[in-house]
Amino acid sequence: MEWIVIAAVLTATAGLLVLGVLGCRLWLQVRVLAREVDGASRALAEAAGALAGHRR
């Protein structure tokens, strides 16, 4: 019966480690996506400013 408790603790620990790794990977991907969105929004703002200046 003791081995069942040990197996459950090891399984829970492994699950938490996997969730931690996946959380870190997600955080890194969100940072990359945020940089790309920021760059795209800046490019759109520049294009809109250039277009507004061109029309005048």
What percent of the chain has a predicted confidence (pLDDT) above 90? Answer: 84
Tracing tokens 């081995």 back to the chain, one arrives at: 3
pLDDT at 1: 80
DSSP letter at 15 equals H
pLDDT category at 56 given cuts 50, 70, 90 is low
| Mean pLDDT rounded to a whole number for the chain | 94
Mean pLDDT for 20-45 is: 98
Instruction: Record the pTM.
Output: 0.69
Tracing tokens 């005048």 back to the chain, one arrives at: 56
DSSP letter at 51 equals H
For residue 12, the tally of other CB atoms under 10 A from its CB is 10
Mean pLDDT for 13-34 is: 98
Residue 45 above 90 pLDDT?
A: yes
